[in-house]
Copies of this chain bind each other. A is one copy, B any other.
Amino acid sequence: MKKVTMADVAKLANVSKSTVSQYLNKRYEYMSEETRKRIARAIEELGYQPNIIARSLKQKTTATIGVIVFNILHMLTIQVLHAIEEACQERGFHVIVSNSDDDPEKEKKYIDMLLAKQVDGLIVFTTGKNEDVYQRLVEERFPLVFVDRMVPGVEADAILLDNKRAAALAVEYLASHGYERIGAVAPPLASHVVPRMERIEGFRQALTEKGLPVIADYFVTAEISSIQRELAKLFASGRPPEALFAINDLTLMKILHFVKNNGIHVPDDLALISIDDVPFADIYTPTLTTIAQPTFAMGKKAAERLFMQIVRKQKHKPQIFRFPPTLIERKSVRQRGNNNDGRR
């Protein structure tokens, strides 16, 4: 099928392989117009296409990067991936995408496979584990960038949202609209899942800074599948929160399910604000006030940093980049002028 090689072109053009090679690499400074044309014609005629694998073997570089994500279906993932892919195209790089499913074992396996495939660098939406593996990579100066999450002990570039700021934005906005009893909803906390920790911690801090009550019961942290149940408990017993802060789109979805199933009116019965700007934010009723991440910029930055490491393999100072969240004001939080907490 694809059997035509450089040797074939050389033969047809009556030159040597080296000359063809030079031609391909645009080193035609010392090449006669004549031979250049002959080679061009030979290539054309044979439909020759260079074998990049062979080139890679020689040059020890593949113009390919690996991206490992913990959840390929997540909106953030896909948007960042989009930016990464675009940046790579501009540089003539390819990207191999692997989905770890948030399983550290899989993650480790894919890192190994990708390395074996000689990728020039790795961008990873990490599970947060595998510290040893990453440690080895940074020691070897292998180009590596974390996105969205990171591994605490590892000194590598990381592209993160300014999570504390995002949480603070939410609290401040709610506070300025007269809300006091505010709850937060998140998946289970785990020290290796950095954004979750930072958002909840940021939330707690902002609350105290604003002089608002920190109510233990109002911190709903549960598996996504149990969130509705937990919310039901919360709203059944005692005084429910006036507002809820969803730390990401998945938890928001669950809250939205919950309010729909229970006839809770947003924002009159319950105000809502969340991180991640969901696509339906402005067609939902009410439209959803959200805190957006600059996903495209983050992906672009991740690619940039990786390329930086790839081109100059010397030591570089690993940095953590915190991207600013943006509050998008819509209608799921209203101004609570007078302290009415009745329905409708």
Residues of A near any B CB (own CB < 8 A): 1-2, 49-54, 56-57, 62, 64, 72-73, 78-79, 81-82, 85-86, 89, 92, 94-99, 112-118, 140-142, 253, 256-257, 260, 278-280, 282-285
Contact = CB atoms under 8 A, between A and B. Distances in A.
Given A78-B78, A79-B73, A96-B64, A118 B256 contact: no
A283 B85 CA distance: 32
Given A53-B62, A257-B283, A95 B94 contact: no
Contact of A85 (B49, B64, B97): B97
Contacts of A73: 78-79, 82
A140 B52 contact: no
12 contacts: A52-B117, A52-B118, A53-B57, A72-B78, A72-B82, A72-B85, A73-B82, A85-B98, A94-B113, A94-B117, A253-B280, A257-B282
A97 B93 CA distance: 11
A66 to B, nearest CB: 8
A89 B78 contact: no
B96 A141 contact: no
Contacts of A257: 282-283
Nearest to A79: B73
Contacts of A50: 116
A92 B51 CA distance: 22
Number of copies: 2
A174 to B, nearest CB: 22
Nearest to A66: B94
A228 to B, nearest CB: 12
A118 B3 CA distance: 11
Contact of A115 (B49, B98, B140): B49
B99 A96 contact: no
Nearest to A82: B72
A99 B283 CA distance: 28
Contacts of A92: 113
A278 B89 CA distance: 29
A1 B142 contact: yes
A112 B279 contact: no
A117 B57 CA distance: 12
A187 to B, nearest CB: 17
Given A53-B62, A85-B98, A86-B99, 12 more contacts: A2-B140, A52-B116, A53-B118, A64-B117, A78-B78, A89-B98, A89-B99, A94-B113, A95-B96, A95-B97, A97-B97, A284-B284
A331 to B, nearest CB: 11
A79 B99 CA distance: 12
A338 B2 CA distance: 67
Given A49-B112, A118-B53, A283-B260, A141 B97 contact: no
A78 B113 CA distance: 23
A247 to B, nearest CB: 18
Given A89-B98, A94-B98, A51 B118 contact: yes
> What 10 pairs across the A-B complex have the smallest Cβ distances?
A256-B283, A280-B280, A52-B116, A1-B140, A94-B96, A52-B117, A53-B118, A97-B97, A53-B56, A53-B57
